[in-house]
Amino acid sequence: MEMYIKYEPTEKELYVKYEPKAEQCAVSAWRKLNKLPLFPQVALVVVPTAAYCSGKYNEIVVNNAEKVYKVASYLPLVLTEKIVKVFGEQTTEMEPSVSES
């Protein structure tokens, strides 16, 4: 436990420092991939499936942590809301505006 207390501030500092850069890299990669032929169509199929699986994973981890396996509380959750927020903003920027005639 002492080791955790000793390194926890360092871990939090690194997370705060590098998380925004990691998000920028992920969004940049997503934009570049969307320019490839067929990728947007594949993403339309894969993304909902990945979102469903991520939600199920989070549900299982939380339920197991609360009821059965305390070790499950150490498993990371997929931050689906944050993913939707970061990529959702980028998606709306990329969509062409539709003008009403």
Please check whether residue 67 lies inside any domain of the structure. Answer: yes
3-state helix, strand, coil in the chain (%, to 5): 80, 0, 20
Do residues 68 and 94 lie in contact, with contact meaning Cβ atoms separated by under 8 Å?
A: no
Please check whether residue 77 lies inside any domain of the structure. Answer: yes
Per the listing, tokens 């969307």 go with 34
Please check whether residue 45 lies inside any domain of the structure. Answer: yes
What mean pLDDT do residues 36-55 have?
Answer: 90
47-66 confidence digits (pLDDT tens): 889 889 999 999 999 999 99
> What is the model's pTM?
0.61
Q: Which domain holds residue 80?
A: 2-90
Please check whether residue 99 lies inside any domain of the structure. Answer: no
Please check whether residue 65 lies inside any domain of the structure. Answer: yes
Please check whether residue 60 lies inside any domain of the structure. Answer: yes
Please check whether residue 30 lies inside any domain of the structure. Answer: yes
Domain count, the chain: 1
Amino acid identity, residue 19? E
